Structure formats: C-alpha cells, structure tokens
Amino acid sequence: MNLKTQLDRFIHDSRTELVLVLLILLSVILLIIEVSLEHTAGAWAEVRESLKLAGDGVNGLFVLELVIRLYVASHKRRFFRNYWLDILSVLPAFPFFRLFRLLRVVRLLRAGILINRRLNAVSASLAAGLGAQLGVLMILAGVVLVGALGIYVAEGRSNPEVGSLGKAVWWSFFTLAAGQPIGELPLSDTGRLIAMVEVLGGITLFAVFTGVVSAFMVQRLRTGMEVRDVELDELNGHIVVCGWNRAGQRMLEALQADPDFRERAIAVVAEFSEPPEAELRRVDRRRVYFHKGDYTKMEVLEEVGIRRAAQAILLADKTLPRSDQDRDARTVLAALTIEKLNPGIFTCAQLLDRRNNVQLQVAGVEEVVVDDEVSGRLLATNIRTEGVTDFFSEILSINVGNDVLKTRLPAGWGNPTFGEAARRLKDQHDALLLGVKRQAGDRQELLLNPALSLPLAPGDELIFLARKRPKLE
C-alpha cells in the first residue's frame, strides 16, 4: 500500500473525523476566550498570548489536514472549488487585520458536515431529518459568533453597548433577529460594516457575510451532507457496485464484517427511484455511497470514480422491470466499459444465465457467479451429503467460525510441497490448507486438494480455512 492510499484512508477514517470535530470546537472556544481577553493587560495579557499560540497550533493541524486532502484529491481544481472557504479560515491573521482570524468560526460548517456523517452511520432517516436543521444552526451560530467577536474587538473599549463579550453576543443575536442594529449605531467604520452584515443576515435568514456567500454555504451543506458528491470525487481504492437486488444487502454486510474491508468505501450505482438505505439496518452507511444513474454509461461510471476503484461487483440489476436476458446484457456491457476504463480492476459479476459467461470472459471479468447453478448444486449436495448445510453457512459467513482465506506463499517458506505447507499452517496457525491457485499461461488455475507431493512455487496463492487471518512469515 503506497503513501497516498494510506493518507487517503487516514483522512477519511471515522476516528480522524471525530478528532477534527473536537479540534474545530476547541479552536472556536480558544478564539472566544482569546477575544474576551482582548482589552486586558498584565497577567491576563500573557494568558491571551498563550491562548493565541494554542489557537495557532490547532490552526496548523487544520493546514496539515487540507494539505493531505489536496495531496490525495484526484481533481485539484474541484478541491479548491469545494474547500476555498476552509482555506480562507486557516490563513494567518496579520496584526493590521486582526478581524481576519474570526474566519476560524466558519470551520463550524465543516464540523456540521462531519457530525451529520456520523448521524448517517447510525440512522439514515435521522440524518435526513436533522441535516437541514443542523446546517441552519451552524450558519446562525457562525453569524452570531463572528458578529459578536468582531464588534467586541472593534468597539469593546469605546462603545458601552458592547463593553463585554456577553453584551456583544446579545447585540449580535438581536441585530440578526430584528434585521436592524439594536441600540445606538456602531461608532467605527468596522463596527458599521459588521452591523450591515448582521442586518443582511437577518433579512435573508441564511446570510453569513452576504446573501451570495449564504447561498453557497447552504448549497455546500446540501451536497456535502446528503448527496456527498465531493466525497465521491475523493474516493480511491474503493469498491464499485453496479446494479442492485436483494443480494446487495447481504453482500454489504459480509464485506463490512471483514476487518480488512470494514473501512473500505463502497459506491453503489443503479437507477434507483429511492436509495435502499432504509433496508440496510446492519450496514455502516457512513462509507456506503448511493449514486443514481445508468451504470452502463461511461460518464456515470466516471462519476463514481471507476478509474480509481480497486474492485467492481456487477449485480443482476432489479431496480427496474426487465427480462433476465436484458439484465445479463447490461451486466456484460457494464463489464466491457469498466475493463476499458480500468484494465487493472478486479471484477466479479452475477449472471442469471451461464451462456452469457463467454462475453464476460472476453471482457476480462475475473469471477462469475450464476445464481441458479450455485443454489441448485447446494441443494443437491445437501441431499447427497445430509447435514452439511451448517458447513456451507459457516464458511460463507465472515463473522461466524472459520472463513475461507487466501494469501500468497510467504517468501521465507522457500519451495515446500503442498503437504509441508499444510502441516506448517496447521501446526503454527491452526489453519486447514484446501488448495492452491497459480498462474497457468494467461489464466489462473485452481488446484483443490492436490497431492501432498505437489511442489509449491513463489507466486502461488494458498487457499485455507481459518478462524482469523494469520500473519505468515
């Protein structure tokens, strides 16, 4: 795994997002305390300087965050278009323009977006219900705080109406609510500018600095909290699922039950009338992105980052009424498009008719699952060998008992025979070796339960049963 991939996973990790929310709140609190000590001297002035240094340190972490986001972003221009306000909020405030540092309050919008993602992981309906209210609350809090801190810095000594930070907060709130300055007009030009922004905010209800900026922020919250197009642009090494049917829910649950895939982003694209988020009660929806569109079209696949994806899963799509032949035809067409856009991707496809497998092999699809064949053979096996249902249930369930795992033959093992590798796996890791997968010309060959004397070679992949993935050396 290269550095860019590691940074991409780190910056979108749920723990990193939680830390960012806490740092944003800490930054705003430090700023409020620092401004409240603006007109003090002596020991309090030293405290104010210490708080300023602490705030600058937190601001430096935000700069590092944005640098990482810029480094992992696939579309640099889109990054600047979506994060320009965050960039302004972390720029250094020069002594001759002290009010500039108040822009740090704008980061509350980023905290709102991150909080809403966590709500979405708990309940999609809860996030949808609270998303708009949270956005409005963050905008109003930002306007009130910027207005209060700004008027206090500008006129805290000369204007008795805002002689303390508490009075400044009340002045800012009631000016916003009334749509006109409360009490006497501000004395300075800076104070009048702040009052004008407050009045505009009260008139338009959503303004932060001007009506244009307000409209941008509301649009940004809507796309960031609901559609999440910005995040789709940032995905890398993710899984793209094309199509949807009843197997989709089980598939997502099984993927997220695997520790290696738990934090992997999954983009699901299909012609949804409504995304099936209400069905996914046991799925962490924080890293699942539903995108409405026809996945057989190149531009739609580009929108879900197919060129940067690591794996693709093609389901027999049942979002719209179609014949089985049409569903398989769409699967084949999507596979051809995916392999053309990203030749190195690993693709697994679900077919309804085995006769369509020839086209998938030509397309370069690595794995094909035919529903009727799998279920039919499983039923026959249960009749021929009574009582093996539990066996299949266990090995197909990731979070129960033994799992089927695969790993490359460790370089330190030399060139053992199949029997030697089996004994080593069982003795050292309590794992049962089932077979070997190796390259045979232009295709991969599966050797299941081969002879114990079969020599293994570097590049061979071991397939085995184990309760957890062992660390082989």
Numbered ranges of CATH 3.40.50.720 in the chain = 235-367
Numbered ranges of CATH 3.30.70.1450 in the chain = 402-473
DSSP bridge pairs for 465: 404, 432
Is the pTM here over 0.75, yes or no?
no
Burial class (CB in 10 A: 0-12, 13-18, 19+), 95: exposed
CA–CA dist 451, 165 (Å, integer): 82
Cβ-based neighbours of 305, under 8 Å, separated by 6 or more = 74, 232, 233, 235, 236, 238, 240, 267
Cα–Cα–Cα angle for 10, 229, 269, rounded to 5 degrees: 100
Cβ-based neighbours of 216, under 8 Å, separated by 6 or more = 85
Please report, for residues 96, 113, 315, the alpha-carbon distance to residue 230 in angstroms, rounded to integers and kept in the order given: 35, 12, 25
Report the CATH superfamily, name and number, of domain 235-367: NAD(P)-binding Rossmann-like Domain (3.40.50.720)
pLDDT in tens, the chain (473 residues): 678 888 888 888 888 888 988 898 898 888 888 877 776 777 777 887 888 888 888 888 988 998 998 888 878 888 888 788 788 888 765 544 556 677 778 777 778 777 776 666 555 555 555 555 666 677 777 778 877 887 877 776 777 777 677 778 777 777 776 666 676 667 777 777 777 777 776 666 544 444 444 544 554 444 444 445 556 777 888 999 999 998 888 888 888 888 778 888 899 999 988 778 777 777 877 788 888 899 999 999 998 999 999 999 999 999 888 898 999 999 999 999 999 999 989 999 999 888 888 888 877 888 888 877 777 877 787 777 776 777 777 777 666 677 888 888 888 888 899 999 999 989 888 899 999 988 877 777 888 889 999 999 888 899 998 888 888 76
Biggest CA–CA distance in the chain, Å, is 95
Assess contact for 87 and 66: CB atoms under 8 A.
yes
Contacts within 8 Å (CB) and 24+ apart, 382-387: none
How many C-beta neighbours within 10 Å does residue 221 have? 21
Q: What is the pLDDT of residue 202?
A: 65
Contacts within 8 Å (CB) and 24+ apart, 371-374: 371/316
- From start to end of 252-361, where are the E strands? 266-270, 288-292, 311-314, 346-351
Which residue is associated with the tokens 């070679």? 457
Q: How many residues are present in the chain?
A: 473
CA–CA dist 451, 421 (Å, integer): 12
Burial class (CB in 10 A: 0-12, 13-18, 19+), 225: buried
Structure-block tokens of residue 347: 């693709």
Q: How far apart are the first and last CA of the chain?
A: 18
Q: What is the pLDDT of residue 286?
A: 78
Cβ-based neighbours of 302, under 8 Å, separated by 6 or more = 341
CA–CA dist 247, 262 (Å, integer): 18
Q: Does domain 402-473 have CATH number 3.30.70.1450?
A: yes
CA–CA dist 338, 341 (Å, integer): 5
Which residue is associated with the tokens 């988020």? 277
Q: What is the pLDDT of residue 184?
A: 66
Helix, strand, or coil (residue 231): helix
Q: What is the pLDDT of residue 134?
A: 65
CA–CA dist 280, 314 (Å, integer): 19
